């Protein structure tokens, strides 16, 4: 998109129609079509039979996927491209299972006009927490967090950190990477009761589960104990209202040891909330899937720390959109 706001009619048309390509890919992921085609060469008639779909419609979908570069077609038969085989086949090491979550978001984003009119996303919020959403959501967050955690671990001072709390830790990817970086570190992962069983599965896969324990509950209302040298909040504050975050950061400060670090990792918006662009778009995502979530400015985040008595606040920028704001307890 042009930075200067000058669009041509063609650019506007392409932007308005970009949903078509997204829907083609997401439908293929929803049908698990790429897994079916793994190391296979099939005509659309056979694919339709195996998927239980309409033959003509399936053929047109396969043709579109070929046009987009996800499939190749030879003598009327289709097979996966290298990228589709690597990233879109279930069971592969780099499988992007989180796209199922993106597919779920499709329904939520289709309500944006009504949400803007009426500001009512309660029904969507219920679906966001439903069984069909939870596992794909955690998988999507884990896929991203695994890659980001390697960078984050190099940006933090862990020299005096013996015990950390990962609030809303989800899969626990950040905790596992920090433990690898600092083997004497003990991590406590706090999340909802329904999430913790999934967290434990990822912990076993990580190989550092002996350095990890779990607390289930609601971080806004339940106790998450004390004695932490570091409290990590990745992709958490955007779920809450300004006032809820004010309360949460105060709880974090109270739970921290002296010289302890409270780390917010999230979009940090400029004062007029137009940059970064990803954060501006994500604010709309919060409109359609939460009751009161938003993206926040650095000024607002610093106010939460100041309210909790934290004067030493540092910002560290990452290379992937969300940045760090670190408060150090005196």
Q: How do residues 253-286 score in pLDDT, each as one tens digit?
A: 999 999 999 999 999 999 999 999 999 999 999 9
Supply the DSSP symbol for 4.
T
Q: What is the pLDDT of residue 131?
A: 58
User: Strands 323-328 and 312-316, how do they pair?
Assistant: antiparallel
Question: Dihedrals φ, ψ of 260, to 5°?
Answer: -70, 155
Which regions of the chain carry the CATH code 3.40.50.150?
Answer: 114-328
Contact of 258 with 330, CB cutoff 8 Å = yes
**What ranges in 31-121 are assigned the alpha helix state H?**
33-36, 44-51, 55-68, 82-87, 99-109, 112-118
Segment 204-229, tens digit of pLDDT: 999 999 999 999 999 999 999 999 99
Region class of 95: left (phi > 0), else alpha (psi between -120 and 50), else beta: beta
Angle CA 96–108–18, to nearest 5: 65
Alpha-carbon separation of residue 7 from 10, 102, 205 (angstroms):
8, 27, 47
Which regions of the chain carry the CATH code 1.10.10.10?
Answer: 9-96
User: Strands 256-266 and 163-167, how do they pair?
Assistant: unpaired
What is the value of pTM for the model shown?
A: 0.88
Question: Dihedrals φ, ψ of 174, to 5°?
Answer: -70, -40
Alpha-carbon separation of residue 240 from 7, 94, 151 (angstroms):
35, 31, 26
Q: Which CATH code of 3.40.50.12500, 3.40.50.150, 3.50.50.60, 3.30.450.40 fits the domain covering 114-328?
A: 3.40.50.150
- Assign 3-state DSSP to the chain and report helix, strand, coil percentages, each to 5: 50, 20, 30
Question: Dihedrals φ, ψ of 327, to 5°?
Answer: -105, 135
Q: How far apart are CA 161 and CA 142, in angstroms?
A: 23
Among 26-40, 48-62, 116-130, which stretch is predicted with the lowest mean pLDDT?
A: 116-130
Residues in the chain: 330
Q: How far apart are CA 163 and CA 12, in angstroms?
A: 51
Q: How far apart are CA 266 and CA 32, in angstroms?
A: 32
3-state secondary structure of 170: coil
Q: What average pLDDT does range 175-184 have in this prediction?
A: 96
9-96 folds as Arc Repressor Mutant, subunit A (1.10.10)
Segment 120-152, tens digit of pLDDT: 654 544 444 555 789 989 999 999 999 999 999
Q: What percent of the chain has pLDDT over 90?
A: 89
């Amino acid at each position: 998109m042009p930075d200067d706001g000058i669009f041509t009619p063609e650019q506007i048309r392409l932007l308005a129609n970009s949903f078509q390509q997204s829907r083609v890919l997401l439908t293929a992921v929803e049908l698990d079509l790429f897994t079916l085609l793994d190391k296979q060469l099939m005509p659309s008639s056979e694919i339709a039979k195996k998927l239980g779909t309409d033959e003509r419609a399936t053929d047109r979908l396969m043709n579109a996927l070929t046009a987009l570069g996800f499939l190749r077609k030879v003598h009327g038969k289709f097979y996966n491209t290298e990228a589709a085989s690597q990233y879109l086949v279930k069971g592969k090491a780099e499988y992007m299972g989180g796209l199922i979550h993106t597919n779920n978001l499709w329904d939520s984003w289709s309500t944006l006009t009504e949400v803007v009119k009426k500001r009512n996303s309660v029904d969507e919020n219920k679906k966001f927490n439903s069984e069909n959403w939870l596992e794909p959501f955690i998988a999507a967050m884990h896929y991203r967090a695994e890659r980001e955690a390697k960078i984050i671990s190099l940006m933090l001072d862990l020299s005096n950190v013996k015990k950390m709390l990962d609030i809303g830790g989800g899969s626990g990817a950040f905790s596992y990477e920090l433990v690898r970086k600092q083997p004497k570190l003990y991590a406590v992962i706090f999340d909802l009761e329904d999430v913790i069983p999934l967290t434990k599965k990822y912990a076993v896969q990580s190989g550092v589960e002996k350095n990890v324990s779990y607390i289930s509950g609601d971080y806004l209302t339940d106790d998450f104990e004390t004695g932490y040298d570091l409290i990590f909040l990745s992709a958490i504050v955007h779920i809450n209202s300004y006032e809820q975050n004010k309360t949460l950061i105060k709880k974090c400060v109270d739970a921290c040891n002296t010289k302890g670090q409270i780390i917010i990792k999230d979009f940090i918006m400029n004062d007029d909330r137009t940059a970064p662009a990803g954060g501006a778009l994500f604010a709309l995502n919060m409109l359609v899937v939460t009751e009161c979530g938003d993206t926040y400015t650095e000024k607002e985040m610093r106010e939460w720390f100041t309210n909790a008595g934290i004067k030493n606040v540092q910002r560290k920028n990452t290379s992937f959109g969300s940045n760090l704001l670190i408060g150090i307890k005196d």
